[in-house]
Amino acid sequence: MRKLASIQKILDIQPIEGADAIEVASVLGWKVVVKKGEFKVGDKCIYCEIDSVLPPKEEFEFLRSKKYRIQTIRLRGQISQGICFPLSLLGRDFEIGTEVTEEMGIIKWEPQIPITLGGENKGAFPGYVFKTDEMRIQAVPGVLDEARGIEFYSTVKCDGTSCTISHMDGEEHVCSRNLSKREGDQVLYWQMAKKYHVLEKLRDLGNFAVQGEICGPGIQKNRLGLTSHELLLFNVFDISNARYLDFKEFLEFAQKLEMRTVPIENESFIFDFTIDELLEMVKGKYPGTNNEREGLVFRPVKEALSQILGGRMSFKVINNEYLLKGGN
């Protein structure tokens, strides 16, 4: 589960060439620009991740022009992701790893989907399906050791809006990232369900949930350059057996549905990378466009569990050039 604000340790501090007032600190797997001399290696800090929205308080006034949202920025040539605050801001000590999102009054920034695309809510997201929200590797660097030596595959992270369509013993849902949606001709999620006849096919195939990214005109600047809306699959969850399909099974299931998957970047490789190597690997543009791609998602070819993630071994690495150019 993502911690927008948590107590972390300053792991390293390095100078920034040509900068007298700032330096770069390492926190978890992130690089964060801080005031020179404010922290030293080993200090605790309040680390706030990108996409955190801080409350409009005097101590956060410097973020007013950004609507109090923390984003990826570049200062003196150094990429900075997140903000480190001294522990004194909260007035007491905490153990490293403690989440303080609520204490800081932080909420998560979410891109807005136009109401004409989102429609009315039917109810809660079905409890027998996991929501789609991979952790960024910089927030969980220990996963690198867990993954080392395992056969992985990688897929392109398509910049759109997440959709889940499920069927279980006659109960059916068409969902956004967080909620089940009422049926309607103007509701984007239902448009996709009907375009690909997903529910009809799931009724024949059994109790499954399919998850994918809706991309196209009017969604997240349509960075893929599509001329119509498409639903690109990235997960299939076997509800009856409470498991995600392995990579090969996933591809076969997509063929049964007669649907495209998100682009496959690499079908098979042995994982053995550093964060810096991964950040270099995910650079690139969406085919046929000049738009920076969002990044890559990494998963084992054979589904596996992660103790650090507390569930499925699956994580994303976001392209910093995409973030610097206004991506989420």
- pLDDT tens sequence for the chain (328 residues): 689 999 999 999 999 999 999 999 999 999 999 999 999 999 999 999 999 999 999 999 999 999 999 999 999 999 999 999 999 999 999 999 999 999 999 999 987 766 566 778 899 999 999 998 899 999 999 999 999 999 999 999 999 999 999 999 999 999 999 999 999 988 999 999 999 999 999 999 999 999 999 999 999 899 999 999 999 999 999 999 999 999 999 999 999 999 999 999 999 999 999 999 999 999 999 999 999 999 999 999 999 999 999 999 999 999 999 999 877 6
What is d(CA 150, CA 193) in angstroms, rounded to the nearest whole number?
A: 35
What is the rounded distance in angstroms from the CA atom of residue 102 to the CA atom of residue 3?
10
* d(C-alpha 174, C-alpha 18), whole Å: 53
Block residue for tokens 């007032």: 21
Q: Quick check: helix, strand or coil at residue 39?
A: coil
Q: Which pLDDT score is estimated for 201? A: 98
- Identify whether the C-beta of residue 188 lies closer than 8 Å to the C-beta of residue 161: yes
CA distance 201 to 106: 42
Task: Note whether 229 and 192 are within 8 A (CB).
Answer: yes
Q: Say which CATH topology domain 115-324 has.
A: D-amino Acid Aminotransferase; Chain A, domain 1 (3.30.470)
Rg (alpha carbons) of the chain, rounded to whole number: 21
Reduced to 3 states, what is the DSSP secondary structure of residue 197? coil
- Phi/psi at 305 (5° precision): -100, 150
In order of 5, 20, 25, the CA distances from 52 in angstroms are 8, 28, 19
pLDDT at 110: 84
Task: Give me the CATH topology for the region 5-108.
Answer: OB fold (Dihydrolipoamide Acetyltransferase, E2P) (2.40.50)
203: left (phi over 0), alpha (psi -120 to 50) or beta: alpha
CA 245 to chain centre: 20
Cα–Cα distance, 295 to 84 (Å, whole number): 25
Give me the residues paired with residue 300 across strands.
152
Tokens 């300053």, residue located: 10
Domain ranges of the chain: 5-108, 115-324
Q: List beta partners, residue 85.
A: 46
pLDDT score of 327: 72
- CA distances in angstroms from 259 to 45, 192, 213, 230, 252, listed in the order given: 46, 11, 12, 10, 10
Handedness of CA 52, 55, 60, 63 (dihedral sign): positive
pLDDT at residue 328 in the model: 67
pLDDT digits (tens, 9 = 90+) for 265-278: 999 999 999 999 99
Map tokens 């690495």 to a residue: 317
Q: Which helix (H) or strand (E) holds 22?
A: strand 22-27
Q: Each residue of 16-67: pLDDT tens digit? A: 999 999 999 999 999 999 999 999 999 999 999 999 999 999 999 999 999 9
